[in-house]
Amino acid sequence: MRPIVCAAAIIRRGRALLIARRKPDSRLEPLKWEFPGGKIEYTEDPRVCLVREIREEMNVRISVDAVYDIVSHTYRKGGRIFHVLLLCYLCTYRGGRPRPLDCHETRWVRIGDLGAYDFAAADLPIVRRLSAPRRRGR
């Protein structure tokens, strides 16, 4: 089975990041928090996907910057295996008031507070990397 390729946005506004909570009827990990985004459609550029998904899901305008990380995660549910390849991009908030149009909830949080949220498994490596203390000289 081929991986499910998704794009995720680490949306920055000052010192805060925008996170989203999955709907209660989500197929994988309902009500878990995540960096918003979605599946990349056939032939779609991941950056175009993010701009579209964030507008559709939250009514927010963003610009997509650099790739931050790529996460490969395997979910097992009901005897089935789902391999997710998550392309995570740093993004800049450009406007719009976040509204949960296709998610359960949205929230602006500080990086230091990410650990207080119950994130989806595929997003955890990003949470850990963002939350890690920065070393001088790097």
User: Residue 124, by phi and psi: left (phi above 0), alpha (psi -120 to 50) or beta?
Assistant: alpha
Provide the mean pLDDT of the chain: 93
Tell whether the model's pLDDT for residue 134 goes beyond 70.
Answer: yes
What average pLDDT does the segment 21-49 reach?
Answer: 95
**Could you tell me the pLDDT band of residue 135, with boundaries at 50, 70 and 90?**
low
Q: Are 88 and 65 in contact (CB under 8 A)?
A: no
Q: What is the pLDDT of residues 47-105, one digit of tens each?
A: 999 999 999 999 999 999 999 999 999 998 888 898 999 999 999 999 999 999 999 99
- In the chain, what percentage of residues exceed pLDDT 70? 97
Indicate the fold that domain 4-131 takes in CATH.
Answer: Nucleoside Triphosphate Pyrophosphohydrolase (3.90.79)
> What contacts 40, CB < 8 A, 6 or more positions away?
5, 6, 7, 46, 49, 87
Tell whether the model's pLDDT for residue 138 goes beyond 70.
Answer: no
What average pLDDT does the segment 99-116 reach?
Answer: 96
Q: What is the pLDDT of residue 82?
A: 87
Q: pTM of the entire structure?
A: 0.92
Q: What is the pLDDT of residue 79?
A: 87
Q: What is the pLDDT of residue 137?
A: 55
Enumerate the domain spans of the chain. Answer: 4-131
